[in-house]
A = this chain, B = another copy of it.
């Protein structure tokens, strides 16, 4: 497999993985492209390489910046804006975990807490609803605590922890 083929395979695989986990394809592909690029890329570069429109590129770059995994680079003497992504996989994982926790998991935990706290009228179905949502609440909260631990720890915590678990 040659460089170009390998690169394309990586980018498109990353794109479809994104799709499976609720992340839009263009967004995942832009991140993948930047991830293996040796230098910052302009919007033109990205449009060209991925064959996507200016608007699409602009919107998805913005989203990636909102997620905190892509940053604008100012290149002296250049009028265009250039972009880079976090190159360190650990930091990347931390950032994604942080955002998914904040945007998606926390709101669900809130609802699970509410639902599992309804008044127990002693009917079987109410007891079941409370019991099951409580169990889910606990599991979700534990998983989320783990993510947050991951987010706030030093650089190598993730690898060390994973190693501890699998050893």
CA separation between A60 and B149, bound complex, in Å?
Answer: 35
Interface of A is mostly: helix
Candidates B17, B19, B21, B146; contact of A166 at CB < 8 Å: B146
CA separation between A161 and B164, bound complex, in Å?
Answer: 10
Stretch at the interface among A42-50, A64-72, A121-129: A121-129
- Cβ of A7 within 8 Å of any chain B Cβ, yes or no, is yes
Contacts of A138 in B (CB 8 A): 89
B7–A129 contact, CB under 8 A? yes
Contacts of A102 in B (CB 8 A): none
Closest to A149 in B: B166
Number of residues from A at the complex interface, CB < 8 A: 56
Candidates B89, B108, B132, B139; contact of A135 at CB < 8 Å: B89
- Report 26 cross-chain contacts, Cβ distance below 8 Å, ordered by A residue: A1-B118, A3-B121, A7-B115, A10-B129, A13-B107, A13-B108, A13-B111, A17-B104, A17-B108, A19-B22, A20-B22, A21-B104, A35-B136, A36-B125, A36-B128, A37-B128, A38-B125, A89-B132, A89-B135, A89-B139, A90-B139, A93-B139, A145-B162, A146-B162, A149-B165, A149-B166
- Cβ of A81 within 8 Å of any chain B Cβ, yes or no, is no
CA separation between A38 and B123, bound complex, in Å?
Answer: 11
B3–A126 contact, CB under 8 A? yes
- Cβ of A74 within 8 Å of any chain B Cβ, yes or no, is no
